[in-house]
Amino acid sequence: MASPAARRNSAAAGALPARCGLALRPAHFAALLEERADVPFFEIMAENHLQPGDPARPVLEALRARAPVTLHSVGMSLGGVDPLDRSHLAKLRALADFLEPALVSDHLAWAAVDGRHLHDLLPVPFLEEALTHVADRVARAQDALGRRIALENVSGYARFAESELAEWEFLAEVAARADCLILLDVNNVFVSAANLGFSAEAYVDSLPRERVAQLHLAGHEASGELLLDTHGAAVAEPVFALFERALARFGALPAVLERDRAIPPLGVLLDEARKADALLERALQPGASDAG
């Protein structure tokens, strides 16, 4: 019988427990420093902490001493066509050297064009041509950071008619060519599937087991015909169901709960994370996972 540890996915970031961590937000700094809340690890939003005199540095130091961290970037524009921003990568690397994160991630998206930064995660056209381009950028970014990157799927609202591949095919192929990991955001899969009309289950079922290293959970909200990935609500039940499906396929992976709007008190988020923990624990039981 496999031990629980053996049931963890081989790609899972080493130092992280197979539990649900929290995306660190300033709204919870005070509560986290005062109460010694049981947070298995923190996901740190890189672009919030790149300034030389980052006022939150003491908070990061205190939490880093308490729990492992992951470093999550939204600014590398790995799907973009502007030259890679070497100065930004150097700052990310310095922050990573300080935090020693168990995982560094960014998105399968672009965020700037012709030097104009848009601060959004914009869709990549899934073209053969883009495949080579993005994989090469990811590989070069990994070299610059001295670390592997986990590439995250984003929420989709518009598609390019020119796309030649499905998103999951594109993501898997980029990961293979760049030899990077995948951070699977199950809420983004759910939102994109609803907005763009594909099967969320087929997406999860098709990703390569050995590449998926971490999962993201968040809430979405409906607006007219669309689902919006607002991170402004509790995780929806069907997203938890998709999460379970992912655990069955990939094994019990570290997960992160993200909340950016209508941020509730820390205790409420921790309760939600415990719900994910219960599913993770179940996935660790012998026979629960087909990930081996």
Residues that bind other proteins (CB under 8 A): 47, 50-55, 74-77, 80-81, 85, 88, 110-120, 122-123, 125, 127, 129-130, 133, 157-158, 160, 162, 223, 226, 228
Q: Give Dmax (Cα) for the chain.
A: 55
Question: Which residue, 3 or 223, has its beta carbon nearer to other proteins?
Answer: 223
* Residue closer to other proteins, measured from CB, 91 or 249: 91
* Residue type, position 18, single letter: A
Identify whether the C-beta of residue 24 lies closer than 8 Å to the C-beta of residue 45: yes
Say which residues have a Cβ less than 8 Å from residue 144's Cβ, sequence separation at least 6. 84, 86, 89, 90, 93
Least Å distance, CB 140 to other proteins, is 16
- As measured in angstroms, the least distance from the Cβ of 157 to other proteins is 4
Query: Distance (Å, rounded) from C-alpha 60 to C-alpha 42?
Result: 10
**3-class secondary structure, 258:** strand
Given its phi and psi angles, is residue 277 left (phi above 0), alpha (psi -120 to 50 degrees) or beta? alpha
Which one, 137 or 249, has the nearer CB to other proteins? 137
Nearer to other proteins, 63 or 130 (CB): 130
Q: Select 225 or 237, whichever has its Cβ closest to other proteins.
A: 225
Smallest distance from other proteins to CB 174, Å: 13
The residue among 56 and 288 lying less far from other proteins, judged by its C-beta, is: 56
Smaller CB separation from other proteins, 65 or 158: 158
Name which of 19 and 25 has its Cβ closer to other proteins.
Answer: 25
Q: Is residue 198 within 8 Å of 204, Cβ to Cβ?
A: no
Residues 288 and 84: their CA atoms lie apart, in Å, by 42
Q: Smallest distance, Å, CB 121 to other proteins?
A: 8
The set of residues, in sequence order, having a beta carbon less than 8 Å from that of 8 and lying 6+ positions away, is: 18, 251, 252, 253, 284
CB of 228 to other proteins, least distance (A): 6
d(CA 279, CA 242): 11
Give the tokens for residue 84: 């890679």
Please name the residue that has the structure tokens 């919006």: 228
- For residue 184, give the 3-state DSSP assignment: strand
CB of 89 to other proteins, least distance (A): 10
Distance separating alpha carbons of residues 77 and 133, to the nearest angstrom: 12
Report in angstroms how near the CB of residue 158 gets to other proteins at its nearest. Answer: 6
Q: Which run of H or E residues covers position 43? A: strand 42-45
CB atoms under 10 Å from CB of 254, counted, come to 27
Minimum distance of other proteins from residue 116's CB (angstroms): 4
